[in-house]
Structure 1
Amino acid sequence: MALISISEAARLAGVSRKTIQRYIDSGKLSATVGGTGGATGAHPLRQVEISELIRVFGELKGEMSHLVAGGAHETSRSVSMDNVTPVPPPVPPVLSDEKAALEQVIAAQQGTIDLLHKQVDELREEKRELRAQVAGLLEYRRQQAPAAPPAPAKEDQWALWKLVLMIVVLFIAGITTINSFTSHIK
């Protein structure tokens, strides 16, 4: 298809030159660099294919005057997407190889992500099952545990004190007996 200047592209698309330049800089719109342009001729001239304009902006709004095959001038023709089949720019073999390698890496990483999601789901299920088992064991243990021993009666407490008192008395009596025995031996 024919190449047109950025100004002509902006007029046909119904947008500003700045919009066309921004689209080219961001990669949304492809442009061809060739020759020099501008008043001083210092800057490279960027041109846009009409098919690229149609691909990005759809039906063109302005009229165009350009050379068609055979060298004749055609004027006042409105261009629409209906008459044009967009052709994607050729991809260099190096880029297609890199793209294929990156697609393989992405596929492998997606497989890893899927596997990790599956493992996380399995671990969550196992965690739920273990919690249910622990809850069941705790309930069983509560049911099987003996009742707390009853508090000792007051009578039992007095009996304990009586026993302690008797031991103390016997101990004192034993010491006294030992002292008297040792004093007789001397």
Structure 2
Amino acid sequence: MAKVSISEAARLTGKSRTTLHRLIKTGELSTCSGVRNTKMVDISELLRVFGEISKPVNEQPLEQVSEQRVTGHSALNEQVVNSLKLEVEHLRTLVSAQESHIDSLKQSLQLLEHKKDVQQPLPPPAKWWQFWK
């Protein structure tokens, strides 16, 4: 179910925030962590403790909320979206360049490791007659 803040839970239940905090402290009402470790209360938990939750008077029904007004900020929003698209494309180019650089460094490292593995050639064996000298 949905999770709401302590203030929103107080508004939904008609109780004070102090009452909710007291119930949380005594363990009668459980919470969970939300964004930035804020205490959130699950709606089902409110239903368990307080029974049916009354709908606030100032809240509009969902049918009336479906209409939205178009604001004059749409041109500004489009400009921001275009700017962000350009930035994303630029960042993708940078990531691609970094990946190719990493690949070339990996190849160089493999060449260096290969040269290290190749041993120095042994000096030519001494001739048998030089052994007695």
User: Considering only CA atoms, is the larger Rg found in Structure 1 or Structure 2?
Assistant: 1
TM-score past 0.5 threshold: no
TM-score, structure 2 length as denominator? 0.45
TM-score, structure 1 length as denominator? 0.34
From the two aligned structures, give the one with the greater strand fraction.
Answer: 1
**Greater RCO structure (CA 8 Å; 6+ sep):** 2
